[in-house]
């Protein structure tokens, strides 16, 4: 999978983590950028959680 796809095949819906969300015509530019940063932040948070889980599993 390529990280930067100019147009996601599913029309901008979030399905795969690796896909970068592009602002669509539904949002104005400023709103979409805020939306995008929010999505990126939630991704980072969940990734951190996954890493913590993996570390805990390795201890056993």
pLDDT, residue 30, reads 58
DSSP SS3 for 44: helix
The C-alpha atoms of residue 32 and residue 22 are separated, in whole angstroms, by 8
pLDDT tier at 55 (50, 70, 90 boundaries)? Answer: confident
Domain ranges, residue 2: 1-60
**pLDDT tens digits for 8-51?**
555 555 555 445 555 555 545 556 666 777 777 787 888 888 87
The C-alpha atoms of residue 36 and residue 21 are separated, in whole angstroms, by 7
Cβ density class 3-20: b for 16+ within 10 Å, e for less:
eeeeebeeebeeeeeebe
How many independent structural domains does the chain possess?
1
pLDDT, residue 41, reads 78
pLDDT, residue 42, reads 80
pLDDT, residue 49, reads 82
């Amino acid at each position: 999978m390529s990280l930067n796809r100019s147009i996601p095949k599913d029309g901008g819906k979030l399905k795969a983590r690796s896909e970068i969300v592009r602002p669509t015509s539904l949002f104005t530019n400023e709103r979409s950028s805020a939306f995008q940063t929010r999505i990126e932040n939630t991704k980072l948070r969940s990734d951190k959680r996954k890493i913590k889980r993996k570390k805990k599993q390795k201890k056993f």
